[in-house]
Amino acid sequence: MTMRWVNHHSHPGDNRYRVFVFREAEHATRFAERLTAAGIGFERHEEDGEVMFGVAKTYDSVTIRENNLVHGEFRDPFIPHKGWRWGLLVFTAAVLGLAVLGWLTSTTAHAQPSGLPWELDVVSRVHVPVEALGMEPADGTTQGLTSTWTPRVGTEFGLRIHRRLREGWTLGGGIEWVRREHLVVSTYANDTLGVATVDTLPQLRSLAYRLPVLGGIRIPLGWNGTELQASGGVALEWKTSETIASMLVQTAEDDRVLQAYQGRARFVTVPVLAEIGIQKAAGNETPGWYIGWFWSSPMGRGTWAETTWTSGSVSALSRIWLPQVVTGVDLRLVLPE
């Protein structure tokens, strides 16, 4: 018995065709509609509660993409429970409301020798792949297929609200949008068939939302109102969806399809956060700034990666756990009083 991680395979009796298998009637109906709209002919067969479509492999680049899009249409929301979705919206609204309230009320604050008790920052970050800090390639070999997932430059954007406490301590939270980037290199070797290929997917992007909570300390540097700031904490992170990318490679020798898939082992992960930088406080009418370095790593395994290589009747699959460590430059605009 052969275990398949994808819902398609070469036809066992005629390797010129690919068979797509659906267990849900609505998925099968939508796939048929998409093939018809694309002008692609197919044969349909139902057996043991499964709907199967036979399609010529000459259309692989289109049919595999349409298959992925069908699954994307019916994929569950990244927060499947309605209560959790509303909870996220309420929490986000509360954080933003407190930020705006703190900023507005600060304009009428008086006799505060240490400045604002509340502070609102606009956060912009760039991921810098540093292997020594955990942003290193992950690879694995199965069935002759070696897949290497290499972190690339990603970005983050968000809002932070901080509360200044006594003796330089701070407490903060916010909401952030995280975009991770990977380059996927697939190497397949089969000495029996005399096959050796190396293919590259230049970009696979995944998105997530993060709700951080951090405690920190600020130490005045005695120069133009600047402070050394160090913070640490945890966050809740939701991936917006699972990610799929595919590529058709056509050569004089053969045609092959490389597909990369990034999945979620859990809907919610808990990253550990660490940040350090220098901040200049905002004035009454002038914004401040912050420049620093950040690092985060989830506790436990939350993301896996799968690479599929297919050419004619030959296919192979490699599956690995994918590290989600990110580190890089942290730039912030501190809104004025």
For residue 96, is pLDDT > 60? no
- Which pLDDT score, from 0 to 100, does residue 7 have? 85
pLDDT band, very low/low/confident/very high, at 109 (cuts 50, 70, 90)? very low
Cβ within 8 Å of residue 256, ≥6 positions away: 197, 199, 248, 249, 309, 310, 311
* pLDDT tens figures, 190-206: 888 888 899 999 989 99
Q: For the chain, give the percent of residues with pLDDT over 90.
A: 44
Question: Residue 161 — φ and ψ, nearest 5°?
Answer: -125, 130
Cβ within 8 Å of residue 118, ≥6 positions away: 98, 99, 102, 103, 105, 106, 161, 162, 163, 164
Residues of the chain with CATH 3.30.70.260: 1-74
Asked if 38 contacts 56 with a C-beta cutoff of 8 angstroms, the reply is no
Greatest mean pLDDT among 10-14, 82-86, 241-245, 276-280 lies in 276-280
Identify the residue with better confidence: 142 or 128: 128
Mean pLDDT for 205-227 is 91
Cβ within 8 Å of residue 110, ≥6 positions away: none
Identify the residue with better confidence: 123 or 39: 123
Distances (CA, A) of 190 to 145, 146, 149, 304: 9, 12, 21, 25
For residue 167, is pLDDT > 60? yes
For residue 291, is pLDDT > 90? yes
- Which pLDDT score, from 0 to 100, does residue 234 have? 94
* pLDDT tens figures, 298-326: 988 888 898 988 887 788 888 899 999 99
pLDDT band, very low/low/confident/very high, at 334 (cuts 50, 70, 90)? very high
Asked if 162 contacts 171 with a C-beta cutoff of 8 angstroms, the reply is yes
Separation of alpha carbons 55 and 11, rounded Å? 9
- Which pLDDT score, from 0 to 100, does residue 89 have? 60
Mean pLDDT for 133-150 is 90
CATH no. for 1-74: 3.30.70.260
For residue 55, is pLDDT > 90? yes
- Which pLDDT score, from 0 to 100, does residue 114 have? 45
Mean pLDDT for 160-186 is 91
Instruction: Work out the mean pLDDT of the chain and round it to a whole number.
Output: 84
Write the DSSP string, 268-287: EE-EEEEEEEEEE---SSS-
Closest CA to 299 of 213, 239, 235: 235
Look at the domain 78-334 and name its fold: Porin (2.40.160)
pLDDT band, very low/low/confident/very high, at 77 (cuts 50, 70, 90)? low
For residue 232, is pLDDT > 50? yes
